[in-house]
Each structure stands twice: as C-alpha cells, then as structure tokens.
Amino acid sequence: MDIQQLSVKIFAKSTTDGQRFDQSALIPIFHRWIREKRLGPEILLIDVADYRHVVDGPGIMIIGHHAHLGLDEGRGLGLRFLRRRDEPGEVAAKLRDGLRYATLCCEALSGEPTLGGALQFDGGALELRVQSRLHAPQSAATYASFEPTLRAFLAEVYETEADAIECEHLSDEREPFGVRVRVPGTHEPSALHPRLLG
C-alpha cells in the first residue's frame, strides 16, 4: 500500500494547573524557526498563520512549501506535522518521515525557554491522517491494509509488543482516513526521535 500527504499529531500532556495553553506565545517562536530553518534545508518554511478563530482548528501554524505544522486543537491539543508535497510511497517510510519531524518539533517546543515548560507532549498518544483520499479512501478496507504495517512499525520504534498498541480507526466519512494510536507506557518525543533517524 502506498500513501501520500500523511499528517502525524502528537498529543500534548494536560497542563498541571488546568489552564488552556495560550497559543499566541508560539508566534515569535515559529517566526524564529523560519529564520533559523529549524527543520533543515529539506523543509522550506514560509510564514506563520493564525487560525485560532476556527473552533477545534489548527491554531497557530507554520505554512511551508513541503509541509505545514501547528498546534491543532481537534480532539485535544497536539502538535500536527502534515506533508504537503510528496510522492506516493510505502506506509512505513511515510510513518518514519512524519513521526521524525513531529517528534523533532515536540522536542523543540518542550525545551523552548520562553515557554518555561508549559507545553509538553505524550509521545505515545498519536493521531495519523492520510490527506490524499486517492491513495487511502476512508474505508474499512483501507484500515485493514494500513493497520498491520502501522503496528509493526510502531512496535519497532517504541520497542514494545505490537498487540499491546491500541489502534482505533477514525471512520467518519467526512474526514480523511485516520487512526488514533495509544502506545502503553511513557514515551518522550526526545527519546523517540533518535530511533527515527537514518
């Protein structure tokens, strides 16, 4: 199975004081990431966009030529990395690419001095979406084809048993094909990222 335009969302941990995270703090951070080419030369970052007016929307985003990223609020706050321009390719390779960049961004935000540790991420709580319906129509058949590769990939990266990973098909026909994932245990993005290199 080949897929295209994968998005990976890593959910944020709950804030200790129960307050909602103020995304306005991300605007200068994301502008700095653009200047510094924070995601490397292969991901061209262009501008910062504010979608906080959209209910359960993408929040503050970096718009890029090859990918977008932002703090998405749909089904819970989390960092979403979305490939925009890529060729169709094998599921495992796309998962490795998407999770590599998502963990890199989460690690950077978690350690961002100006946020003072206010934003931390649960590397074991994911939402995956395939935006290209041509390669992954929203169907049970797509899930049946996608899920075994997903489990095998996650078991390798998270160093756990494939059967221990919870996968839920997000089957709303109005939305792109998606899977919600829960990997048991504690998984910091900073520990996952090195396993995704190479």
pLDDT digits (tens, 9 = 90+) for 29-46: 999 999 999 999 889 999
- Position 53 scores a pLDDT of 85
- Cα–Cα distance for residue pair 107/11, rounded to 1 Å: 13
Average pLDDT, the chain: 93
Domain ranges within the chain, ordered by starting residue: 2-196
Q: Locate all alpha helices (DSSP H) within the chain, ordered by sequence.
A: 26-36, 91-110, 140-158, 189-192
| pLDDT interval class at 57 (50, 70, 90) | confident
Residue 74 or residue 185, greater confidence: 185
**H or E stretch at 79:** strand 78-83
**Taking 80 as the threshold, does the pLDDT of residue 19 lie above it?**
no
